[in-house]
Amino acid sequence: MMMGGAMGTFGSSMASLFFLWATFQQMFPHHLKIAIKEFLLSTFQQVSFVQRFSDHIINFFSPYVVISFPEYEEYHFNHAFAAIDTYLGAKAIDKAHKLKASQVKESKGLVLKRDEAKVRDVYQGVHVWWELVTTGTDHDGDRTHKLTFHRRGLEIVTGSYINYVVEEGISIEATTKKMKLFTNNPSLNWDTTSKKSLWRRIDFEHPASFQTLAMDPWKKEERGYLFKKDSEKKEQSESRVTLSGLLNFIDGIWSACGQERIIIFTTNHMEKLDPALIRRGRMDMHIELSYCSFEAFKVLAKNYLDVDSHPLFGEIESLLKDTKIAPADVAEKLIAKNQRIEVDGCLEDLVQSLERKMKEQRGQDED
């Protein structure tokens, strides 16, 4: 009798539990059910006795599936994590409640990115929730993207949605790719068991541009297409390269389908180069960079002294017409030795240097 009464009580309790669960499934929206699930899970885990069974109990009754995308998998970087992070940061901004704005160099507008750990997305009628989970400190912690969705959308999510997110993330990364500057992490962090890379990177935003380049304006416009940015870095080799090996490498560029590179060689003595090196087809274009002109000087004065005009500009223009001096030598005179030396002192020093240079060149011409 006692056993039968206990079984009857247990049966009625289970029936009540299933009734409440069915009511919960019908009345509460998806995102609220996930929030209640997380709250109950965190509450139950406060009790040591329940902590061992809470995951199994909730997962048994929950109709939701969770897929994790860790940043590192078996000590290798997970490229799917990076693609997902890019997608959620750019594509899902219209679905996020918190955004962060930034403006990079030479950008015409603000760049909006997601600034919250959870993002809701919809794909072919299937509602999914993304959450960025970080364990440990924000700087050195392990990061994981968790994807939660109802079990009835399992085929769509695993069949096409995840591939769609990864492909979109890769496409966005390709269109907004920036040049990176890499450096080694401190040696104290070189742990063989660490998942972190030995390299760290930052966006490479050098202030130099064609506007700050000390050249004649017409040369900037004519030769601008010769310069090509390339973020790929090759490891340096300690072995020596012979001249014939260099020439073979240059000639081999023509057979590198889709991977051609523009190589720029510089020299101060064109007449000393072997004709086989500078022949057409190997060196396709010869560009003679002139000495510092007055237009180039004005660019240097703007870069180093932040001035567009000065009473000494007229005298400097006259001296530059009769003096052969490299832009680097002019820039050296425009760099203030200390804070006491102002614009006048730098320009007067340049005038004296140009006068000495002109006298030396006239003496050489007379000899």
What pLDDT score does 108 carry? 52
In a domain, 16, yes or no: no
In this structure, the answer to whether residues 268 and 298 fall within a common structural domain is no
In a domain, 280, yes or no: no
In a domain, 44, yes or no: no
In this structure, the answer to whether residues 264 and 304 fall within a common structural domain is no
In a domain, 279, yes or no: no
In a domain, 286, yes or no: no
Residue carrying structure tokens 């940043």: 71
Residues near 273 by beta carbon (within 8 Å), at least 6 away in sequence: 267
Number of residues assigned to the chain: 367
How far is 149 from 96, CA to CA, in rounded Å?
Answer: 17
- Within the chain, which residues score under 70 in pLDDT? 1-61, 75, 91-97, 102-117, 136-141, 176-177, 184-199, 206, 210, 215-216, 218-262, 336-341, 365-367
Residue carrying structure tokens 């080694």: 184
Contact indicator for 70, 81 with CB cutoff of 8 Å? yes
**Diameter over CA atoms, the chain:** 129
In this structure, the answer to whether residues 85 and 173 fall within a common structural domain is yes
Q: What is the chain's mean pLDDT, rounded?
A: 71
In this structure, the answer to whether residues 242 and 329 fall within a common structural domain is no
As to burial, measured by CB atoms within 10 angstroms (0-12 exposed, 13-18 middle, 19+ buried), residue 46 is exposed
In this structure, the answer to whether residues 214 and 165 fall within a common structural domain is no
In this structure, the answer to whether residues 157 and 225 fall within a common structural domain is no
In a domain, 166, yes or no: yes
Total tally of structural domains belonging to the chain:
3
In this structure, the answer to whether residues 263 and 319 fall within a common structural domain is no
What pLDDT score does 63 carry? 82
Beta-bridged to residue 132, according to DSSP, are 145
DSSP 92: G
Q: Return the SS3 of 159.
A: helix
In a domain, 241, yes or no: yes
Q: Considering only CA atoms, which of 325, 334, 330 is closest in space to residue 290?
A: 325
In this structure, the answer to whether residues 172 and 225 fall within a common structural domain is no
In a domain, 217, yes or no: yes
What pLDDT score does 367 carry? 61
DSSP 124: T
The secondary structure of the chain in percent helix, strand, coil, rounded to multiples of 5, reads 50, 15, 35
Q: Which domain does 87 fall in, by range?
A: 64-177
Distances from the Cα of 149 to the Cα of 26, 67, 68, angstroms: 16, 9, 12
How far is 81 from 132, CA to CA, in rounded Å?
Answer: 10
How far is 175 from 91, CA to CA, in rounded Å?
Answer: 13
What pLDDT score does 230 carry? 38
How far is 51 from 45, CA to CA, in rounded Å?
Answer: 4
Q: Considering only CA atoms, which of 65, 250, 90, 224 is closest in space to residue 154?
A: 65
Contact indicator for 250, 200 with CB cutoff of 8 Å? no
Handedness of CA 24, 28, 34, 37 (dihedral sign): negative
How far is 263 from 287, CA to CA, in rounded Å?
Answer: 13
What pLDDT score does 327 carry? 87
In this structure, the answer to whether residues 308 and 348 fall within a common structural domain is yes
How far is 8 from 26, CA to CA, in rounded Å?
Answer: 27
In this structure, the answer to whether residues 168 and 215 fall within a common structural domain is no
Q: List, for residues 303-328, the tens digit of each pLDDT value.
A: 888 888 889 999 999 999 888 888 88
What pLDDT score does 164 carry? 92
In this structure, the answer to whether residues 76 and 166 fall within a common structural domain is yes
In this structure, the answer to whether residues 94 and 127 fall within a common structural domain is yes
79-90 helix and 162-175 helix, angle to the nearest 10 degrees: 80
